[in-house]
Amino acid sequence: MPLKMRGHAVASSVYDELRQVLDTLPYTPALRVVRLGDDPASVSYTRLKNKRARELGLDSQVIALPLETSEAELLELIEELNRDELVDGILVQLPLPGHVSESRVIEAIAPAKDVDGFHPYNVGRLWAGEDTLEPCTPAGIIRMLDHYQIELEGKEAVIVGRSNIVGKPLAALLLRRNATVTVAHSRTRDLAEVTRRAEVLVAAVGKPRFIGAGMVRPGAVLVDVGISRVDDKLVGDIDPAAHELSTAYTPVPGGVGPMTVAMLLANTVKAARLRRG
Ligand code: GUN
C-alpha cells in the first residue's frame, strides 16, 4: 500500500512549533496580505492565509484594493508597509491584473519582509545556497518529504513545471538536498520518457490528471501541486490511477495545499525574528 502523505498532519506539526516560538517572543509578528480585485480563487486564498495567521495569534490583515488600482498606488502602499516598523511580512497575491507589472511589485517589497521569497535578492540567495525566506510551496514540499522520511540524496527528481512560484525554486531546494534534478516543461520532448526516470516526481503544471500511470516509474514518490476544479470536484495534476504504482503520494485536496499556508506563517515568524533581532 502506498503511503498517503497528508498535508494537514504535517502543517499541524509546523503550527505546534510556531506556537512554541511565539510564546517566547515579546512582540506579535504582523503579516499584511494585499489583493487587487476579487477573483474568486485569490479571495479564497487570501482569506485562508489571513484566517490561519490569526488562528496562530499573528497580527494579520487582508488589504483588499479595487481591481483598477494603479501600479503607482500599489507601489506606494508597499513603500508604506516597508517603512512600517510593526509589519514583518508583506504578501501581494498573484496573479496581478495586466496593467500592473508583477516584477516591479515584487522588487518593491523589502527583501526582509518578502515572506513569499519572490524578490530577486531572496531568489539569488536561494540559488547560492544561503539561508533565506524560501518560497512557501516548495519549502512546504521539502518539509513534507522530511516529515515522511523520504530520502532525497542522490535521487532522480523530476519537476514538471517551471514557474517562479513552484518549479524553479523547488529545483534549488532539491539540489541543496543533493537530488539530481530535472525541470521538465511544456516544450520538453518525450515528457513520459523523462518522468519515467523520476524516483521523486513533482507535478506543478495546473492541468488536471496530466500525469497518467504510464508516465510514472513504479515505486516513485509522487508530489502533486496541481489543483483544478473539474465537474465541481478538486483534482490534481496526477491521475489517481498512478498512485497505486507509487511508494508514497500526496492526495488532492489535502496534500501540498495546507503546507503552503503553514510555511507562509513560518516565514512571517522567521522574518520577524531576523528583522527585530
Ligand atoms: N498565487 C498563487 N500562489 C501564490 C503564492 O504562493 N504567493 C502569492 N503571493 N501569490 C500566489
pLDDT value, residue 74: 99
pLDDT value, residue 14: 98
Distance 93 CA to ligand 1 centre (A): 5
pLDDT value, residue 75: 99
pLDDT value, residue 241: 98
Q: For the whole model, what pTM was predicted?
A: 0.98
Q: Give the residue, out of 31, 50, 93, 109, with the most ligand 1 atoms within 8 A of its beta carbon, to mutate for a pocket test.
A: 93
Amino acid identity, residue 10?
V
Ligand 1, residue 165: give the atom nearest the CA.
6
pLDDT value, residue 22: 98
pLDDT value, residue 260: 98
Q: Going by C-beta distance under 8 Å and a sequence separation of 6 or more, which residues neighbour residue 68?
A: none
CA distance linking residue 92 with residue 74, whole number of Å:
10
Distance 169 CA to ligand 1 centre (A): 13
Name the closest-CA residue to atom 4, ligand 1: 94
CB of 126 within 8 A of CB of 174?
no
Return per-residue pLDDT of the chain as tens, 277 residues: 999 999 999 999 999 999 999 999 999 999 999 999 999 999 999 999 999 999 999 999 999 999 999 999 999 999 999 999 999 999 999 999 999 999 999 999 999 999 999 999 999 999 999 999 999 999 999 999 999 999 999 999 999 999 999 999 999 999 999 999 999 999 999 999 999 999 999 999 999 999 999 999 999 999 999 999 999 999 999 999 999 999 999 999 999 999 999 999 999 999 999 999 8
CATH dotted code for 136-256: 3.40.50.720
Q: Going by C-beta distance under 8 Å and a sequence separation of 6 or more, which residues neighbour residue 154?
A: 178, 179, 180
Q: Please tell me if the CB atom of residue 266 comes closer than 6 angstroms to any atom of ligand 1.
A: no
Q: Please tell me if the CB atom of residue 116 comes closer than 6 angstroms to any atom of ligand 1.
A: yes
Q: What are phi and psi of 98, to 5 degrees?
A: -55, -30
Q: Give the residue, out of 49, 113, 165, with the most ligand 1 atoms within 8 A of its beta carbon, to mutate for a pocket test.
A: 165
Tell me if domain 25-110 and domain 136-256 are identical in fold. Answer: yes
Q: Please tell me if the CB atom of residue 136 comes closer than 6 angstroms to any atom of ligand 1.
A: yes
Torsion on CA atoms 47, 48, 54, 57, rounded to nearest 10: -160
CA distance linking residue 122 with residue 124, whole number of Å:
5
Would you list the DSSP string of 139-155?
HHHHHHHHHTT---TT-
Distance 23 CA to ligand 1 centre (A): 28
CATH code matching the domain that covers 25-110, chosen among 3.40.50.620, 3.60.10.10, 3.40.50.10860, 1.20.1340.10:
3.40.50.10860
Distance 219 CA to ligand 1 centre (A): 31
Q: Say how far residue 177 (Cα) sits from the centre of its chain.
A: 18
CB of 181 within 8 A of CB of 154?
no
From 124, 117, 189, 203, select the one nearest 157 (Cα to Cα).
203
Please give the helix or strand (H or E) that residue 159 lies within, else none: strand 156-160
Residues annotated as catalytic are: 49, 93, 116
pLDDT value, residue 233: 96
Q: Domain segments of the chain: what residues?
A: 25-110, 136-256
Name the closest-CA residue to atom 11, ligand 1: 94
The β-bridge relationship of strands 233-235 and 228-230 is antiparallel
pLDDT value, residue 73: 98
Q: Going by C-beta distance under 8 Å and a sequence separation of 6 or more, which residues neighbour residue 244?
A: 2, 213
CA distance linking residue 61 with residue 46, whole number of Å:
10
CB of 184 within 8 A of CB of 215?
no
